[in-house]
Amino acid sequence: MAAYVIVEIEIVDPVGYEEYKKQAAATVHKYGGEYIVRGGKTEVLEGDWQPKRIVVLEFESTQRAKEWLNCEDYREPRKMRHRTARTNMILVEGM
């Protein structure tokens, strides 16, 4: 079953975050992930959530998504993301 990593991002260091994006993309693809949403305009339809940036990744399974998140290749880019942005991240199974 497909799995989706959904990330709400508030960038605090735009230059550093651009470098993070370059490094992270290769690791996502290496683990079979695909960017479904990467930034783009958001519009609130209900509630008071005001996300600055949303990223959605699709993986073949929750296991594969977790393997990506915790892999050695993503270790340094992940630290870079923590330095350059504030994030909330969830993993959701698809249909």
Kindly state the average pLDDT of the residues 33-53: 93
Kindly state the average pLDDT of the residues 33-60: 94
Asked if 71 contacts 31 with a C-beta cutoff of 8 angstroms, the reply is yes
pLDDT of residue 15: 96
What is the model's pTM? 0.92
Average pLDDT value over all residues in the chain: 96
Give yes or no for residue 95 having a pLDDT over 90: no
pLDDT of residue 39: 87
**CA–centroid distance for 58 within its chain:** 10
pLDDT of residue 55: 97
The candidate with the shortest Cα–Cα distance to 95, out of 54, 46, 58, is: 58
